[in-house]
Amino acid sequence: MSARFATRITVIRFLDVHKSYRVDGKDIPALQPFSLDILDGEVFGIIGHSGAGKSTLIRLINLLERPSGGRILIGDTEMTALPEPALRAQRRRIGMIFQHFNLLASQTVADNVAFPLRLAGERDAAKIDARVGELLERVGLAEHAGKYPAQLSGGQKQRVGIARALANRPEILLCDEATSALDPQTTASVLDLLAAINRELKLTIVLITHEMDVVRRICDRVAVLDAGRIVESGTVADVFLHPRHATTRRFVDEALPEEAASALAPLAQVGGRVLRLTFRGATTLSPVLSRVMRESGVDFNLLAGRIDRIKELPYGQLTLTLEGTNADAALASLREAGIEIEELPR
């Protein structure tokens, strides 16, 4: 996974950025100094609990929030150095969608989507109509053009939000808890739409969320935010399969309750070493485990397991105990086959 982005260009760069708010004469830190690169064409997730600073972080990108220090670059443009009119022009290159959609209640769906075009100075009604039609088609709302937002469901409102955000053909799409107000099914369909847009339009997506499942479904890389600090970041597979920080582990446990430490409590009654095996990609789909066990004559006892996907990457994670004299040799063969092994404390 990491190799996939090694040659990519950075589109968003944070350099020693920090942010604090002045409340009653005191500086309250919201984000500790951090540097971060977001790459061209990736879906980058920022996960954190409420109050961790993720809404502040995403708003730094289009400077809805100004940093207290540090520099923010989009491509070669230093956003933090721009005067107001130039900043407004830059913002048109960055679409944004919101948890509560933030549509104009007084305007129809079509007019909401046309709004950014008109703001950008487009006066040609035929051009606007054509673009709006194309966008509504793209998000599957062509037949709702004349409706008002109040007549739509949450999922439909977010689709209008997405169409609106894409109107000026931005290079970056910011998603501020875009699915947090939606039910699980609608969330899945909105995430599918975002993934398709990322694929087809090659646009970079930055999203913030408090749900690991959102990250798992569509993100390539993720940063974990805890109390204003980025405590962990990397490819989703690395962070998701081998969480290091306690906050990350909590998020993973929330996404996979059956893997949570508490679920392994009956472990005390089982003998042998407790191991967690992680399969990624092709190894997930081949019978490595049974072959190694058969050849080494080691017995295993399966405690917990899961086979799923992280974005397009299939993975498996099994928690098991091993008994037998040949255990070390078996583990060596498994490692050789590309399986990651962690010994769990018991």
Partner 1 sequence: MNPLHSLFPNIDDWGELGRACIDTLLMLGGSLALTVAIGLPLGVLLYLTGRSQLRAMPKLYGVTSLVVNVLRSVPFIILMIVLMPVTYVLVGTKLGVRGAIPPLVIGAAPFFARLVETALREVQQGVIEAAQAMGASTWQIVCHVLLPEARAGLWAGITVTAIALVGYTAMGGAIGSGGLGDLAYRYGYLSYKSDYMVVTVVLLVVLVQLLQMIGDRIVARYKRH
Is 285 a binding residue for partner 1 by CB under 8 A? The answer is no
Asked if residue 241 lies in contact with residue 340, where contact means CB atoms within 8 angstroms, the answer is: yes
Per-residue binding string, partner 1, 28-67, x by CB under 8 A, is ----------------------------------x-x---
Answer for which of 4, 100, 127, 199 binds partner 1 (CB under 8 A) is: 100
Is 127 a binding residue for partner 1 by CB under 8 A? The answer is no
* 140-167 burial code (b ≥16 CB/10 A, e <16): ebeebbeebbeebebbbbbbbbbbbbbb
Answer for which of 9, 104, 261, 282 binds partner 1 (CB under 8 A) is: 104
d(CA 155, CA 185): 9
Strand order in the sheet with 10-23: 26-39, 10-23, 69-74, 77-78
Asked if residue 173 lies in contact with residue 96, where contact means CB atoms within 8 angstroms, the answer is: yes
Q: Tell me whether residue 5 or residue 115 sits nearer to partner 1 (CB atom).
A: 115
Per-residue binding string, partner 1, 64-83, x by CB under 8 A, is x-------------------
Q: Tell me whether residue 62 or residue 333 sits nearer to partner 1 (CB atom).
A: 62
Asked if residue 236 lies in contact with residue 275, where contact means CB atoms within 8 angstroms, the answer is: no
Answer for which of 20, 77, 102, 180 binds partner 1 (CB under 8 A) is: 102
Tokens standing for residue 105: 């209640």
Tell me whether strands 299-310 and 221-226 are parallel, antiparallel or unpaired.
unpaired
Q: What is the dihedral of CA 105, 159, 53, 6, to 10 degrees?
A: -150
Is 9 a binding residue for partner 1 by CB under 8 A? The answer is no
Is 215 a binding residue for partner 1 by CB under 8 A? The answer is no
Total residues contacting partner 1 by CB under 8 A comes to 29
Which residues are bridge partners to 37 per DSSP? 13
* Helix (H), strand (E) at residue 57: helix 54-61
Q: SS3 for 224?
A: strand
Q: Tell me whether residue 132 or residue 237 sits nearer to partner 1 (CB atom).
A: 132
Q: Tell me whether residue 112 or residue 319 sits nearer to partner 1 (CB atom).
A: 112
Nearest approach in angstroms of CB 22 to partner 1 is 12
Asked if residue 176 lies in contact with residue 96, where contact means CB atoms within 8 angstroms, the answer is: yes
d(CA 273, CA 228): 38
Is 130 a binding residue for partner 1 by CB under 8 A? The answer is no
Is 228 a binding residue for partner 1 by CB under 8 A? The answer is no
Is 10 a binding residue for partner 1 by CB under 8 A? The answer is no
Q: Tell me whether residue 102 or residue 186 sits nearer to partner 1 (CB atom).
A: 102
| DSSP summary character for residue 103 | -
Nearest approach in angstroms of CB 175 to partner 1 is 12
| DSSP summary character for residue 114 | H
Nearest approach in angstroms of CB 98 to partner 1 is 6
Which residues are bridge partners to 321 per DSSP? 274, 301
Answer for which of 103, 132, 163, 215 binds partner 1 (CB under 8 A) is: 103
Binding residues for partner 1, rule: CB under 8 A, are 62, 64, 85, 88-92, 94, 96, 98, 100, 102-107, 115-116, 118-120, 148-150, 164, 168, 174
